[in-house]
A and B are shown apart, each in its own frame.
Chain A
Amino acid sequence: MSDAHKREAEKITLAHGSGGRMMQRLIKEVFLEYFDSTELANLDDAAELIIDKSRLAFSTDTFVVKPIFFPGGDIGSLAVSGTVNDVLMKGGRPLYLSLALVIEEGFPMQDLTWILESIRATARRAEIDVVTGDTKVVGRGEADGIFINTTGVGVILPGVDVGGRNAKVGDAIIVSGDIGAHGIAVMAERNGLKLEGDIRSDAAPLNRAVLPLLERFGEAVHVMRDPTRGGVATALNEIAVSSAVGIVLDEAVIPVSEPVTAVCDILGLDPLYLPCEGRFLAFVDGPVADDVLSFLQDLEECSNASKIGEVKGSSSGEVQLNTVTGGKRLLDMPAGEMLPRIC
């Protein structure tokens, strides 16, 4: 049986969408075969386009999050900040957004207007305009409420060249704030675990942090990535492989809020694998790391920014964690979705 036939014999499963190894394989072994673009093959958060000498960043994302409403956000705010952030991660100033909705028959109008209000508010915060859109309604049971796709375009800042392949030995790795809040907010809602307290998603557009950062430090920033599905560990693994470098992290300085720590303790989760929707990782020139850190920490939304690691020349493709106890462990890609456990 040829490879193509073997593939047709398999089925797409939920694991293919969960952001881990199976999704990677689907993209690299199946999708990439059909398209020639080298830009696509970079598999960055956004594509760099050159149109009449203008460098643009172009990104698309589809949002199927359940539950639709969660503490700190909803599918609407996520749909805007998700794509805006992908454009930002490529060094682009986000300008325009398209908005496509697939709505299930029976979806309450009240919920729809709520979501639209959320989209409007987030777009305002991101300083972008929604300029074109599409709406489809499908039969009951065919869309699980609502699915949203957004596509964004922005102009890449002059002198900025960021991409997953650009990490350099000696780079410092900075995270813009505490991790795992979005993952916890969604997991808590999903598992019917009635948690109260400070559990809110961190979902937010990052323009007010990333643009000033790039304007000030431009060329010293080599990679940016927002650690969404699969969390910080997955994002760093991807970059380590793309750039063919090794990464070492210091567990003691990875910022995790008290509520996230508490929920991780209760459910047996590792915050390094939980998605963030309002945080970014930046790989910057070693010598400017301290300046970058101070700069970020002065911004209200990045007050917990921390230098969590650095890039080494050997052990290419591997991410090592130096533990709080003084030991070492390898941070691998996750096998699948993160599940609460009792053991």
Chain B
Amino acid sequence: MNQLQKLRDPKLLRSLADTVKSLKPSKQITLMEVCGTHTMAIHNAGLPGLLPPGLKLISGPGCPVCVTPSSYLDTAIAISKEHNVVLTTFGDMMRVPGRSGSLTDLRNEGHAVEVVYSSLGAAELALRQPEKEIVFLAVGFETTAPTVAATVKCAREKKVTNFSILAAHKLLIPALKALTNDPELRIDGFILPGHVSVVLGSEPYRFIAEEHQRACVITGFESADIMQGILMLVEQIEKRDYRVEIQYDRAVQPNGNPKARAYIDEVFAPEDTVWRGFGIIPQSGLVLRDEFAVFDALRRFPVTIQESPEPDGCRCGEVLRGLVEPSECSLFGSECVPESPVGPCMVSTEGSCAAFYKSSRRPTELRG
């Protein structure tokens, strides 16, 4: 879109930044960006340094790498070692540490691990190499789940017999419910994830505004979008007028994408699942329905793994819930750094701790 270039115009961005900088909230406002892609965009733009006093941003649980328990990784690694499959994955998962190392380590040891851009790429690999077993690591929220559902349906139609998925998709709304039900939570407003909302629409978030009296704005991912989202949230909070607004209306319809949701419903069923740092959240994960059982890597390649407790001292769970700053974790910056991360919050470049690490070493004013 030429419009994309216009949205990225430096003069526009600087003026918007000035507008944000000159906000004077009447009380301390804390906003949470739910989604890991927002965390990344915010830090890449250097936005935290531009916020006025009285306005604070913290990161929430919308990072599929962060909230996937390490047992998932261990299972994938066990399947690879015991059953000689080709693991296919989004790049995001490659450096996440499981108990027995990461997928990068696994590849370095000589096992087949391929990074793919799309689940369709994994299915196409299966078609091209019928002598190999291809397992796709299906992570992500409602943005990605429909794409995997569509791929699985395609695989069934094409009668692909050497393709399966290790399902770990998660649903955002149950997590948001768990978050907002927490009485300790001090958040005044939410920067809601633009692309999950393309699928879900705006309706499912209404409980946050109506039951919990918090501001909500569904926001896009350009710096300009995020700044506009912040301005809209502050306005809601100052006026005590709590609603779910759509800033990203060029992509998000109030009704979302029903077709995409139908794909999810046809192929997956909700189940109770573990979120790192939250424990079990009811009906918050997706599992393949019985009709698609043949595509379930867990059933196809049974393995036993040991339950892995989180490393001693790791406070990812509290960080993810916005209860503590990364710097309050005793491992932060010493045992847990980007090159050798302990918990997933440091692994993912979008994770709260990795982002905080980079910006807490924020440059002091450089003198010439």
Contact = CB atoms under 8 A, between A and B. Distances in A.
Question: A and B: direct contact (Cβ < 8 Å)?
Answer: yes
A315 B49 CA distance: 18
Given A248-B366, A325-B46, A191 B115 contact: yes
Contacts of B358: 329-330, 332
A314 interface: yes
Contacts of B107: 14
A336 B94 CA distance: 10
Given A267-B117, A330-B358, A336-B95, A312 B50 contact: no
Given A326-B13, A343-B37, A314 B46 contact: no
Nearest to B365: A314
B49 A328 contact: yes
A27 interface: no
Contacts of A343: 36-37, 63-65, 90, 92, 140, 348, 350
A328 B46 contact: yes
Given A342-B91, A343-B37, 8 more contacts: A191-B115, A312-B368, A314-B367, A315-B363, A325-B14, A329-B44, A330-B363, A343-B350
A185 B43 CA distance: 27
B21 to A, nearest CB: 8
Interface in B17-65: 17-18, 36-37, 43-50, 63-65
A329 B359 contact: yes
Contacts of A14: 104, 107-108
Contacts of B18: 326
A86 interface: no
Interface string A1-44: 00000000000011100000110000000000000000000000
Given A14-B108, A252-B10, A327-B49, A340 B363 contact: no
Candidate in B17, B227, B339 with the most chain A CB atoms within 10 angstroms: B339
Nearest to B227: A325
A121 interface: no
Given A13-B108, A343-B64, A324 B10 contact: yes
B361 interface: yes
Contacts of B95: 335-336, 339
A341 B46 contact: no
B228 interface: no
Given A191-B115, A325-B46, A340-B115, A313 B362 contact: no
Contact of B91 (A323, A325, A341): A341
B364 interface: yes
**In the complex, which of the residues A328, A336, A343 has the most CB atoms of chain B within 10 Å of its own CB atom?**
A343
B338 interface: yes
Contacts of B185: none
A328 B37 contact: no
Nearest to B338: A335
A130 interface: no
Nearest to B125: A192
A14 B45 CA distance: 31
A15 B49 CA distance: 33
A102 interface: no
A314 B14 contact: no
B366 A326 contact: no
B144 interface: yes
B8 interface: yes
A326 B368 contact: no
Nearest to B364: A315
23 contacts: A13-B105, A193-B117, A193-B121, A266-B117, A314-B364, A320-B363, A320-B366, A321-B46, A325-B16, A325-B47, A325-B223, A328-B362, A329-B46, A329-B358, A330-B358, A330-B361, A339-B92, A341-B91, A341-B92, A342-B90, A342-B140, A343-B37, A343-B63
Contacts of B44: 270, 323, 329
B354 to A, nearest CB: 9
B195 to A, nearest CB: 10
A327 B358 CA distance: 14
A313 B65 contact: no
A192 B48 CA distance: 37
B363 A313 contact: no
Contacts of B64: 343
Contact of A323 (B45, B116, B140, B367): B45
A168 to B, nearest CB: 12
A170 interface: yes
Contacts of B50: 325-327
A209 B118 CA distance: 41
Given A13-B108, A191-B116, A339-B91, A326 B140 contact: no
A169 interface: yes
Nearest to A339: B91
A318 interface: yes
Contacts of B37: 343
A222 B364 CA distance: 26
Contacts of A332: 338, 358
Contacts of A192: 116-117, 121, 124
A10 B338 CA distance: 20
A246 interface: yes
Contacts of B63: 343
Contact of B104 (A15, A314, A341): A15
A327 B366 contact: no
Given A313-B367, A323-B45, A339-B115, A330 B13 contact: no
Contacts of A330: 358-359, 361-363
Nearest to A170: B368
Contacts of A318: 361, 363
A336 B108 CA distance: 13
Nearest to B46: A327
